[in-house]
């Protein structure tokens, strides 16, 4: 590999930050299809992105394995089999290592390289990227593939530094694992991660105490090994599965029913929910089409799921704490589990309601609550989530035109054009940035779509001699307005403590960040924008603060039209 020498930054056509699903595919397209001199900069010492870092007990993907893989190449597809209905962390990491080898990507990936800053030079239209180690590299095109959930959120609880035991965050889990045998373990957090981790931690811990602030729904995953016949069938049906995930709003390999819960009688509801519970997984969400737009409809699912908790958990007081859920089903990302609620039937497992008696501080012996009660612990596991979507981008000090800083520009919330471009930061592309469907969809599908759209855009700019492309401010304004409308047409904002809104990080602006209008609609909008000559982008000139929002967007998302029909259409992504 080339390195900087004599103080002159090494120069590239394109630099990509991150070697997860997005970064690997972006490298392949830019290097192997466009012929660009490209390098990936990755903080970790291996590829895998989120699947490199999240090695906590029970880490497994909630998307089914036949949909959680690249679809751009039949040959690549046929070179790999997953072994279970849902792929585990180790297996996904092995898959991504396989991809890196299969496509000969490693020679252009620079590991153990954390990007600290990036500055755009208006004279040359080049970015200069500075790594934490002080290396400088320049490029024309800068692509962030940093993931949505990669900045660990360790809560600022006073006294953590005094704790005598060991503490860990699930998103920064040590490679050698954590030995819970004979230990008193406290777990803070009951999101998707905590719900996966608790049953596995309980297998070896002496005691497990789960500190729950917000009770959560969960549906059994019903994971199982895939038989050789099933694997063969999934390989043979590649095209069908690919077309299905690309044609459904949430990019999962199943369709959302058009039936409405609100129109069913009690018996039908019970039958349909019971069947969906038996099938398990995120498919539960798709059993009726109105669950996320109609509170009455949602209540029927919520009542069923709370009833299941009370059925499974034997101790009524424990069941009451676990089922005391304050938000509509799936308004927060719905977890799926393996034996989560049943774990609380074990005599050495307990749940503590820290909304009723909040965590006051951490003391050398463990966790102290406001009531003065101290839970003595040897290990604390923080399953407390991430500074989602904006966190990984703001961890880089981006300097755009005229010395502007991204952290200032986004002080009141992120501003992007379609989640992929930011006004004031030319030639920067953000794969699954804020305003993209990303986390509301099966991530692989938006990732492939963004990466391909970005490669097509760069290819077109090069063919047309464009050295600078920048989102117009009005396009970003209009887009964020549409992102907001799409969220407000659903019940999603009703979970006021959700990370979709940034509410889990104290001081973070409350802005609904992912695009809830659906992956199908999103793809159509992106395609229309490029077909219209990259509408909403200034090319070879500074952005125009007076420019109108792109007509193509206004035409596709409508004006001030409101009402149930529009709400339902906007909510098709859920
Ligand atoms: O994080 P979360 P996560 N005191 O933010 C609690 C993806 N994922 O890591 O709700 C006490 O959802 C917090 O409580 P509250 C998936 O998209 C995917 O679980 O803020 N508690 C909550 O219970 C998911 O949504 C997969 O009141 C505190 C928990 O910690 C996303 O990652 C698997 C606290 C955090 O839940 C994030 O999930 C796992 C405090 N100070 C995750 N601070 C797969 O598909 C926070 N909490 C594999």
Q: 194 CA distance to ligand 1 centroid (A)?
A: 7
Which atom of ligand 1 is closest in space to residue 213's alpha carbon? 27
For residue 557, what pLDDT is reported? Answer: 82
Nearest CA to ligand 1 atom 1: 385
Instruction: Compute the radius of gyration of the chain from its Cα atoms.
Output: 24
Q: Are 127 and 119 in contact (CB under 8 A)?
A: yes
213 lines ligand 1 (CB under 6 A): yes
Question: Would residue 334 count as lying in a domain?
Answer: no
Q: Which atom of ligand 1 is nearest to the CA of 332?
A: 25
Structure tokens at 320: 């009451």
For ligand 1, whether the C-beta of 190 sits within 6 Å is yes
Q: Indicate the top mutation candidate among 91, 148, 189 to test ligand 1's pocket, ranked by most ligand atoms within 8 A of CB.
A: 189
Residue 555, pLDDT score = 86
**Alpha-carbon distance 296 to 283, whole Å?**
20
CB distance 476 to 423 below 8 Å: yes
Q: Tokens 């906590």 correspond to what residue?
A: 56
What CATH number is given to the structural domain containing 510?
3.50.50.60
What CA–CA distance (Å, rounded) separates 553 from 472?
13
pLDDT higher than 70, residue 250: yes
> How confident is residue 556, by pLDDT bands cut at 50, 70 and 90?
confident
The residue-averaged pLDDT of 254-267 equals 96
Residue 209 has pLDDT above 70, yes or no: yes
Expressed in angstroms and rounded, the spacing between residue 190 Cα and the centre of ligand 1 is 6
Q: Which atom of ligand 1 is nearest to the CA of 89?
A: 48
The Cα–Cα gap between 524 and 516 comes to 14
Dist. CA 358–CA 200, nearest whole Å:
25
What is the position in ligand 1's atom list of the atom closest to the CA of 62?
Answer: 45
Tokens 């409508």 belong to which residue? 558
> Which of 57, 148, 155, 191 should be mutated for ligand 1, with most atoms under 8 A from CB?
191
The answer to whether 292 touches 264, Cβ cutoff 8 Å, is: no
Query: In this predicted model, which residue has the larger pLDDT, 6 or 541?
Result: 541
pLDDT at 569 over 70: no
Contact between residue 391 and residue 150 where contact means Cβ atoms under 8 Å apart: yes
Confidence (pLDDT) at 6: 64
Is the minimum distance from the CB of 354 to ligand 1 under 6 angstroms? yes
**Nearest in space to 208 (alpha carbons), one of 306, 345, 110:** 345
Contacts of 464 (CB under 8 A, 6+ apart): 539
Looking from the CA of residue 439, the nearest atom of ligand 1 is 17
pLDDT at 536 over 70: yes
Structural domains of the chain, count: 1
Of 386, 444, 391, nearest to 144 by C-alpha is 391
Residue 134 forms part of a structural domain: yes
With residues binned 3-state (H G I as helix, E B as strand, rest as coil), the percentages for the chain, rounded to 5, are 40, 20, 45
Tokens linked to 39 = 């390098």
Give the alpha-carbon dihedral of 490, 493, 494, 499, to 10 degrees: 130
**Which pLDDT score, from 0 to 100, does residue 7 have?**
75
Residues 80-126 have pLDDT tens digits of: 999 999 999 999 999 999 999 999 999 999 999 999 999 999 999 99
For residue 2, is pLDDT > 60?
Answer: no
**Mean pLDDT of the region 418-430:** 98
DSSP state of 339: S
In a domain, 375, yes or no: no
Residue that has been written with the tokens 């794969």 in this structure: 431
| 333 secondary structure, DSSP code | P
Q: What tokens does 308 get? A: 């299941």
Q: How far is the CA of 191 from the centre of ligand 1 (A)?
A: 4
Which of 278-287, 349-358, 520-529, 549-558 shows the lowest per-residue confidence on average (mean pLDDT)?
549-558
For residue 53, the model assigns a pLDDT of 95
Residue 558 is predicted with a pLDDT of: 64
CA distances from 442 to 201, 232, 282, 461, 519 (A): 27, 23, 10, 30, 9
Atom of ligand 1 lying closest to residue 499 CA: 5
Q: How far is the CA of 113 from the centre of ligand 1 (A)?
A: 27
Nearest Cα residue to atom 7 of ligand 1: 192
In angstroms, what is the span from residue 384 Cα to ligand 1's centroid?
5
Query: Is 289 contained in some domain?
Result: no
Q: What's the confidence (pLDDT) of residue 572?
A: 43
Q: What confidence tier does 34 reach under pLDDT thresholds 50, 70, 90?
A: very high
Q: How far is CA 380 from the centre of its chain?
A: 24
CA of 188 to the centre of ligand 1 (A): 9
State yes or no: pLDDT of 406 exceeds 80: yes
pLDDT at 467 over 90: yes
Tokens of 246: 């690309």
Crossing angle for the helix pair 295-312 and 266-279, nearest 10 degrees?
Answer: 60
Q: How confident is the model at residue 18 (pLDDT cuts 50, 70, 90)?
A: very high
For residue 126, being part of any structural domain is answered with: yes
Mean pLDDT, the chain, integer: 94
Length of the chain in residues, anyone?
Answer: 574
165 domain-assigned: no
Q: How confident is the model at residue 11 (pLDDT cuts 50, 70, 90)?
A: very high
Look up the pTM and report it. Answer: 0.96
- Is the pLDDT score of 264 beyond 80? yes
H helices of 110-187, where?
none
Domain membership of residue 466 (yes or no) is yes
The single residue listed with the structure tokens 């954590």 is: 178
Give the three-state DSSP class for 401. helix
Residue 419 has pLDDT above 60, yes or no: yes
- The DSSP element (H or E) to which 521 belongs, if any, is helix 519-531
Tens digit of each residue's pLDDT (9 = 90 or more) over 471-517: 999 999 999 999 999 999 999 999 988 999 999 999 999 999 999 99
Tokens 């990259």 map to which residue?
534
Residue 554 banded pLDDT, cuts 50, 70, 90: confident
Q: 161: burial class by Cβ within 10 Å (0-12, 13-18, 19+)?
A: exposed
Place of tokens 């970790």: 44
- Identify whether 167 is part of a domain: no
Structural domain that includes position 500 = 10-151+388-573
Ligand 1 pocket, residue 501 CB under 6 Å: no
Residue 383, ligand 1, Cβ within 6 A: yes
What's the mean pLDDT in 146-159? 94
């Amino acid at each position: 590999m080339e390195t900087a020498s004599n103080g002159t930054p090494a120069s590239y056509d394109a630099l990509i930050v991150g070697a997860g699903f997005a970064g690997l595919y972006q490298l392949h397209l830019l290097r192997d299809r466009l012929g660009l001199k490209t390098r990936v900069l990755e903080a970790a010492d291996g590829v895998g992105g989120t699947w490199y870092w999240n090695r906590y007990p029970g880490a497994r993907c909630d998307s089914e394995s036949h949909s959680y893989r690249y679809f751009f190449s039949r040959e690549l597809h046929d070179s790999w089999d997953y072994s279970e209905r849902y792929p585990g962390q180790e297996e996904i990491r092995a898959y991504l290592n396989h991809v890196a080898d299969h496509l000969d990507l490693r020679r252009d990936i620079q590991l153990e390289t954390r990007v600290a800053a990036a500055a755009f030079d208006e004279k040359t239209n080049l970015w200069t990227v500075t790594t934490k180690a002080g290396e400088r590299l320049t490029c024309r095109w800068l692509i962030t593939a940093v993931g949505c959930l990669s900045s660990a959120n360790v809560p600022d609880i006073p006294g953590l530094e005094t704790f005598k035991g060991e503490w860990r965050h699930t998103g920064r889990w040590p490679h050698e694992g954590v030995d819970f045998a004979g230990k008193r373990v406290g777990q803070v957090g009951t999101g998707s991660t905590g719900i996966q981790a608790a049953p596995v931690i309980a297998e070896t811990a002496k005691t497990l105490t789960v500190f729950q602030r917000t009770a959560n729904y969960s549906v059994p995953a019903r994971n199982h090994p895939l038989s050789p016949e099933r694997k063969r069938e999934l390989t043979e049906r590649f095209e069908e599965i690919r077309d299905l995930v690309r044609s459904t709003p949430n990019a999962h390999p199943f369709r959302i029913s058009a039936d409405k819960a609100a129109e069913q009688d009690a018996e039908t509801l019970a039958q349909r929910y019971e069947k969906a519970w038996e099938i398990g997984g995120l498919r539960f969400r798709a059993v009726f089409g109105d669950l996320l737009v109609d509170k009455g409809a949602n209540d029927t699912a919520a009542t069923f799921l709370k009833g299941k908790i009370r059925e499974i958990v034997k101790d009524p007081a424990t069941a009451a704490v676990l089922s005391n859920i304050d938000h509509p089903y799936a308004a927060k990302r719905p977890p799926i589990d393996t034996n989560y609620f049943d774990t609380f039937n074990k005599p050495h497992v307990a749940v503590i309601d820290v909304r009723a008696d909040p965590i006051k501080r951490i003391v050398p012996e463990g966790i102290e609550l406001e009531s003065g009660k101290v839970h003595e612990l040897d290990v604390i596991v923080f399953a407390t989530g991430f500074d989602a979507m904006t966190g990984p981008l703001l961890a880089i000090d981006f300097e755009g035109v005229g010395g502007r800083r991204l952290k200032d520009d986004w002080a009141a919330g992120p501003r992007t054009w379609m989640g992929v471009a930011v006004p004031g930061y030319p030639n920067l592309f953000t794969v699954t940035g804020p305003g993209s469907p990303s986390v509301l969809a099966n991530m692989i599908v938006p990732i492939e779509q963004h990466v391909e759209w970005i490669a097509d855009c760069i290819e077109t700019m090069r063919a047309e001699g464009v050295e600078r492309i920048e989102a117009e401010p009005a396009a970003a304004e209009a887009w964020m307005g549409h992102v907001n409308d799409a969220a407000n047409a659903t019940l999603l904002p009703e979970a006021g403590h959700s990370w979709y809104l940034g509410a889990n990080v104290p001081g973070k602006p409350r802005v609904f960040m992912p695009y809830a209008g659906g992956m199908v609609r999103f793809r159509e909008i992106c395609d229309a924008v490029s077909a219209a000559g990259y509408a909403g982008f200034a090319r070879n000139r500074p952005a125009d603060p007076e420019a109108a929002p792109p007509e193509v967007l206004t035409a596709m998302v409508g004006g001030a039209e409101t009402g149930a029909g529009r709400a339902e259409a906007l909510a098709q992504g859920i």
